[in-house]
């Protein structure tokens, strides 16, 4: 149950009704993370624009890597909603439920290559913000495994975006859909 008023699709009027219809067409359903923004319909549009730019734009980072980072950030923040949604999306690429469950429990115990492990460490470190200012060079490890500056920017955008969304979901009480995000088009 959300902590603020939410306008449901059957109650929507005007611009919100248009936005809901567009989401349903494009994504297959209207996610609770979008409904929570129903009091500010244009924020849904801007949110989706940002999401699409960060998660789908051309990047050295694969879609799977970006989804993996989303899961690590969301697990770190104890955000079950985003963890489940993005674990489901990641499994479209990994097709390995056991590996996915291991990632959610402890990515250090998953057999990841150096690049993916470094992305996970970066995601957790930046999310925890534990002595980031004293961390020798948060991006140097990414450079050391071969990521370009553009990829490092993309990684920072993914981590920052999911910290933003996790906080919105957690503070506003966004409930996980009954299908746990499995029917959402990613």
Range 135-139 average pLDDT: 73
User: φ and ψ at 181, to 5 degrees?
Assistant: 75, 5
Is 99 domain-assigned? yes
pLDDT value at 134 more than 60: no
The band of 105, judged by pLDDT with boundaries at 50, 70 and 90, is very high
Establish if 68 belongs to a structural domain.
yes
User: Which pLDDT score, from 0 to 100, does residue 179 have?
Assistant: 76
Chain centroid offset of residue 169 CA: 11
Domain-embedded: residue 186: no
Statement to judge: residues 162 and 71 lie in one domain? yes
Q: How confident is the model at residue 185 (pLDDT cuts 50, 70, 90)?
A: low
Which 8-state DSSP code applies to residue 57? S
| CB of 122 closer than 8 Å to CB of 110 | no
Are residue 83 and residue 166 in the same domain, yes or no? yes
- pLDDT at residue 132, as a whole number: 61
Q: Supply the range of the domain harboring residue 22.
A: 9-56
3-state secondary structure of 73: helix
The residue-averaged pLDDT of 113-141 equals 85
The region of weakest confidence among 26-30, 33-37, 40-44 is: 26-30
Summarize the confidence of residues 23-35 as an average pLDDT: 93
Q: How confident is the model at residue 173 (pLDDT cuts 50, 70, 90)?
A: very high
Q: Is residue 181 part of a domain?
A: no
Q: Which pLDDT score is estimated for 184?
A: 60
Q: What is the chain's mean pLDDT, rounded? A: 93
Position of tokens 């929570």? 36
Q: How far apart are CA 154 and CA 181, in angstroms?
A: 24
For residue 143, what is the domain's CATH number?
A: 1.20.1290.10
| Sign of the dihedral through C-alpha 51, 22, 34, 181 | negative
**Residue 146 pLDDT greater than 60, yes or no:** yes
Whether residue 128 contacts residue 76, with contact meaning beta carbons closer than 8 Å, is answered with: yes
pLDDT in tens, 58-104: 999 999 999 999 999 999 999 999 999 999 999 999 999 999 999 99
Asked if 89 and 162 sit in the same domain, the reply is yes
Report, as an integer, the average pLDDT of 35-42.
98
The token pair that represents 45 in the structure block: 């549009």
Total of domains in the chain: 2
**pLDDT score, position 135:** 58
């Amino acid at each position: 149950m959300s902590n603020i008023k939410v306008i449901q699709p059957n109650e929507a009027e005007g611009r919100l009704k248009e936005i809901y219809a567009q989401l349903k067409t494009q994504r297959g359903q209207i996610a609770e993370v979008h409904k929570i923004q129903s009091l500010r319909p244009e924020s849904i549009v801007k949110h989706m624009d940002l999401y699409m730019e960060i998660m789908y734009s051309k990047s050295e980072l694969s879609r799977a890597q970006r989804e993996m980072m989303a899961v690590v950030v969301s697990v770190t923040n104890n955000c079950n909603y985003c963890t489940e949604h993005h674990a489901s999306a990641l499994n479209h690429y990994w097709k390995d439920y056991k590996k996915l469950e291991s990632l959610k429990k402890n990515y250090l115990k998953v057999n990841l290559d150096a690049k993916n492990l470094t992305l996970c460490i970066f995601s957790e470190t930046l999310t925890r913000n534990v002595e980031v200012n004293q961390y020798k060079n948060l991006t140097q490890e990414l450079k050391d495994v071969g990521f370009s500056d553009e990829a490092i920017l993309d990684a920072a955008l993914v981590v920052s975006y999911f910290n933003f969304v996790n906080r919105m979901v957690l503070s506003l009480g966004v409930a996980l859909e009954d299908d746990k995000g499995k029917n959402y088009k990613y």
